[in-house]
A and B are shown apart, each in its own frame.
Chain A
Amino acid sequence: MRTKIREFRKEQKITQEELAAMVDVTRQTINSLEQGKYNPSLELAYKITKALNKERIEDVFIME
């Protein structure tokens, strides 16, 4: 799975630490998600989408 987390995060000037705090995970988990190493649960994907002010999960997470 590919994600646009880094792109949207930079767009909104949010650091990995800040996003991690917003969705209640560690910075390492955000880093792992950005690198496409970890596939999140539906709940976490939803939280991240909302934290990045996006409408749909598919806007942030892209299945390949």
Chain B
Amino acid sequence: MIIAKPEWFTRRKYGGWGVGIKTWQGAVYIAGMVISLIVMLQFTGQSTQAKLAVTGIWMTFLLIDIFDVMWKLKLDEREKMHEAISERNAAWGMMIVLVLGIFIELTYNVMNNRVYVNPFMAGALAVGVIIKSISNYKLEKNN
């Protein structure tokens, strides 16, 4: 069920990804969501499992709604260019930290006579490479 409307929100430029509140309707939506979680948690009693389940369902609903808003939010060509450049810069920053992390971890492990790299760190780099390749392939094909 989709409740939030794209015109209530704006794409977050400063302080991370996602959307920021643009109109009072957006503020009411967020407040409503937070209050609904608090109210629902009151009915779960002392059960931790029930609390986790309710929070999980609530989070899923919120994410579906917010992703729908993000998908429908329109950007003009200048905003798209700004977003593309800032996302590229963010990707470079993350990549440098990942490579540095893998290098430090590998060096430390080799000095302790074992070869081990955190699969999530290596995986993040690998996924980045795959997504970049697919993006370039599609862009070359369509543009």
A interface with B by C-beta (< 8 Å): 24-26, 28-29, 32, 38, 40-41, 44
What are 17 pairs between A and B in contact, CB < 8 Å? A24-B76, A25-B76, A25-B77, A25-B78, A26-B76, A26-B78, A26-B79, A28-B78, A29-B76, A29-B77, A29-B78, A29-B79, A32-B78, A38-B78, A40-B77, A41-B77, A44-B77
Smallest Cβ-Cβ distance to B79: which chain A residue: A26
- What's the A-B contact tally at a CB cutoff of 8 Å? 17
Question: Which residues, 44 to 100 on B, are CB-close (under 8 Å) to A?
Answer: 76-79
Closest to A43 in B: B77
Q: Which residues of B contact A32 (CB under 8 A)?
A: 78
Q: Name A's interface SS.
A: loop
Q: How far is the CA of A15 from the CA of B77 in the complex (A)?
A: 20
- For chain B, the count of residues having a C-beta within 8 Å of the partner chain is 4
User: Which residues of B come within 8 Å of A, CB atoms?
Assistant: 76-79
Residue of A nearest to B76 (CB): A25
**Residue of B76, B77, B78, B79 with most chain A CB atoms under a 10 A cut-off:** B78
Taking CB atoms, residues of chain B closer than 8 Å to A41 are 77
Q: Once bound together, how far apart are the Cα atoms of A34 and B115, in whole Å?
A: 58
**A61 vs chain B, min Cβ distance (A):** 15
A32–B79 Cα distance when bound, in Å, is 11
Closest chain-A Cβ to B11's Cβ sits at a distance in Å of: 11
In whole angstroms, how far apart are the Cα atoms of A26 and B80 in the complex? Answer: 12
